[in-house]
Amino acid sequence: MTFSDHISKETIQKTIEFWSPRYGYTLSEEDAREIVVNLSGFFDVLIKWDREDKEKKAQEKKK
């Protein structure tokens, strides 16, 4: 099972409701699923970078 297999119907629907007006057309469930997966991946990268930055700063303080 992948992450996208765990996205609820409610999340898909809310994504469609939020993003469709911004795209100017009604998104499909697949469009919404892709948006959720991409945003999740983006935030995963931000969290990773933040963690790495904090670890680097902690190491620099020890020097």
| pTM for this entry | 0.80
Tokens (6 digits) for 15: 């994504």
Which tens digits make up the pLDDT trace of 6-58?
999 999 999 999 999 999 999 999 999 999 999 999 999 999 999 999 999 99
Q: Which residue type occupies 53?
A: D
Cα–Cα distance between 11 and 46 in angstroms, integer?
21
Phi-psi region of 17 (alpha: psi -120 to 50; beta: other; left: phi over 0): alpha
Sign of CA dihedral 8, 39, 29, 5: negative
pLDDT for position 1: 65
